Amino acid sequence: GGPGGPVVVPGDPDGPTDPVDPEQPEPTFDQALAIPPLADSVVDEDGTRVFQLTAQAGTTSFREGVETETWGFNGDFLGPTLRARRGEQVAVEVTNTLGESTSVHWHGMHLPPEMDGGPHQEVEAGGTWRPTWLVDQPAATLWYHPHPHGRTEKHVYLGMSGMFILDDDGADAAGLPAEYGVDDIPVIVQDKSFTADGQLTLAQENGVPSGVMGEVLMVNGTIGAVQEVTTERVRLRLLNGSTLRSYNFGFDDDRSFQLVASDGGLLSAPHETNRIQLSPGERAEIVVEMEPGTATMLRSYPQRLGEIADPEGYGALDTLDVLRLEAADELAPSAVVAAQLSDEERLDEADATTTRRFVMKNLALNGQRMDMNRIDEVVTVGTTEVWEVRNDDPMPHNFHIHDVQFEVLSVDGAPPPPELSGRKDTIYTEPGHEYRLIMRFEHYANPEVPYMYHCHLLRHEDFGLMGQFVVVEPGTEPPTELPGTGHE
């Protein structure tokens, strides 16, 4: 575009870009919601819980009679749900059978940088990788997805992601519905664009400069999904697994629900509300009460996207049906959600020793775009920091930090709203607004392997709205350049 016009962000030239077919059939909401299977694991002689994930290409029938080329883990589309308990050592044997390198990043996980699965841990075509780490953080709904340099959008969009659920004793005692696939439902929400012959496309034909704003919504890969509810309360683990679109979730009868967890785990107490907005990569757990024999539709309502230049283009005005919940005529009783969910200690601003500032402007972070060989920030292990994040672009961004869960100190100087009161690893950043985050960097230091922080709108991330930090032992001076990585 000309001066002041939209910057069109180019996608991966190897991604599918055939023309979009805007004429898509209306979803019927009578298709049983697919529930990703729980991944098998074995506990080896050292007590490590070992999972296997194979990245593979295949085809998926999203609609009867139409075969769509997709990618997935251990299957044709998406991946199984991994599940582990606080205190367990886990390992994942990753095999890449795709024709190109990929990676698997454990989004929201506190773990050593060599195990993080970012662009420095790519798995070559035909290669394997076996990260292992100790699960040492509160129960939460995390997820995993590829993070290859400059190609994350394509890999996620073609179907590669899955949930990673962490459990602990505190969450067990919180009175939350907890039977996976029965009253504890994974809800991975994604939007896709299809071509006339039913293939996924990353073409930008709807005028959005930042990626795909898909015409078709799916949950766990099911278009027009319905979930039967057989209990008085149902817990939905909402994950915005889209590459660009945000959702403002609510129900079509405007019922309220209890928000019980954000990205990094349980809130201190349930928050009753009728809307929860999630930008790409964010999660929320909600508990919904149902009456026997009734139905309700999970919807996305027009969003609060701030002063963006093109609200229509970013889907901010859309109302979209997502998932129908249908209650059986008789419902099994559910426990009452506890009034206090978590007593995790809060971080104290008085303990912060460093404040850093990150401004997103012109699709860059502090004026720079991602360089695999550059270390942008050096953090000392065992310290608490405040990160001030500001979006000075006229378009939506969000901000995700690897390795840590942060707490929100303030939004434009005011205390955060209840939905931002818990542990987070990704936060929506409205244009012209400022977010002060506090976090503590613990346990893992390696001057040679960085963690990432970036916008999780995946085409922005691929374009370079990302930086790298290393965590070092006190008194260490790491190099500012990393050894050659083979990437430009």
Exposure string of 151-188, with b = 16+ CB inside 10 Å and e = fewer, is bbbbbbbbbbbbbbbbbbebbeebbbbeebebbbbbbb
Residue 324 binds to ligand C2O (criterion: CB under 6 A): no
Whether the Cβ atoms of residue 77 and residue 60 lie closer than 8 Å to each other: yes
In this complex, which beta carbon is closest to ligand C2O, that of residue 151 or of residue 402?
Answer: 402
Select from ligand C2O, Cu ion, none the partner in contact with residue 397, using the beta carbon and a kind-dependent cut-off of 5 to 8 Å.
Cu ion
Select from Cu ion, ligand C2O, none the partner in contact with residue 455, using the beta carbon and a kind-dependent cut-off of 5 to 8 Å.
Cu ion
| Local structure of 185: helix, strand or coil | strand
Residue 271 binds to ligand C2O (criterion: CB under 6 A): no
Position among 193, 460, 463, 468 found at the interface with Cu ion (CB under 5 A): 460
- Segment near ligand C2O (CB under 6 A), from 66-74, 296-304, 449-457, 471-479? 449-457
Interior angle at CA 318, CA 313 and CA 324, nearest 5: 140
* Interatomic CA distance for residues 214 and 20, integer angstroms: 9
**What count of other Cβ atoms lies within 10 Å of the Cβ of residue 336?**
9
Length of the chain: 488
For the CB of residue 459, give the shortest distance to Cu ion in the complex, in Å. Answer: 8
Select from Cu ion, ligand C2O, none the partner in contact with residue 49, using the beta carbon and a kind-dependent cut-off of 5 to 8 Å.
none
- Segment near Cu ion (CB under 5 A), from 153-161, 267-275, 338-346, 391-399? 391-399
Helix (H) or strand (E) segment spanning residue 467: strand 466-472
Residue 390 binds to Cu ion (criterion: CB under 5 A): no
- Segment near Cu ion (CB under 5 A), from 52-60, 69-77, 434-442, 454-462? 454-462
Sign of CA dihedral 371, 376, 379, 384: negative
Residue 454 binds to ligand C2O (criterion: CB under 6 A): yes
In this complex, which beta carbon is closest to Cu ion, that of residue 287 or of residue 457?
Answer: 457
CB neighbour list of residue 263: distance below 8 Å, 6 or more residues apart: 108, 140, 141, 142, 282, 283, 405, 422, 423, 424, 425, 426
Residue 238 binds to ligand C2O (criterion: CB under 6 A): no
In this complex, which beta carbon is closest to ligand C2O, that of residue 95 or of residue 243?
Answer: 243
Residue 397 binds to Cu ion (criterion: CB under 5 A): yes
Position among 49, 110, 147, 299 found at the interface with ligand C2O (CB under 6 A): 147
For the CB of residue 430, give the shortest distance to Cu ion in the complex, in Å. Answer: 12
- In DSSP terms, 474 is beta-bridged to none
Residue 452 binds to ligand C2O (criterion: CB under 6 A): yes
Residue 105 binds to ligand C2O (criterion: CB under 6 A): yes
Positions 395 through 414 that interact with ligand C2O (CB under 6 A): 400, 402
For the CB of residue 461, give the shortest distance to ligand C2O in the complex, in Å. Answer: 7
Position among 107, 154, 271, 390 found at the interface with ligand C2O (CB under 6 A): 107
| Local structure of 364: helix, strand or coil | strand
* Interatomic CA distance for residues 154 and 473, integer angstroms: 36
For the CB of residue 349, give the shortest distance to ligand C2O in the complex, in Å. Answer: 26
Helix (H) or strand (E) segment spanning residue 152: helix 152-157
Please work out the total of residues on this chain that contact Cu ion, with binding judged by CB under 5 A. 4
Whether the Cβ atoms of residue 376 and residue 467 lie closer than 8 Å to each other: yes
Helix (H) or strand (E) segment spanning residue 463: helix 458-463
For the CB of residue 144, give the shortest distance to ligand C2O in the complex, in Å. Answer: 8
Select from ligand C2O, Cu ion, none the partner in contact with residue 400, using the beta carbon and a kind-dependent cut-off of 5 to 8 Å.
ligand C2O
Interior angle at CA 212, CA 222 and CA 142, nearest 5: 55
Exposure string of 248-264, with b = 16+ CB inside 10 Å and e = fewer, is bbbbeeeeebbbbbbbb
Position among 281, 313, 416, 431 found at the interface with ligand C2O (CB under 6 A): 281
Query: What does the radius of gyration of the chain's CA atoms come to, in whole angstroms?
Result: 21
Select from ligand C2O, Cu ion, none the partner in contact with residue 460, using the beta carbon and a kind-dependent cut-off of 5 to 8 Å.
Cu ion
* Interatomic CA distance for residues 286 and 238, integer angstroms: 8
Residues near ligand C2O (CB under 6 A): 105, 107, 145, 147, 281, 400, 402, 452, 454, 456
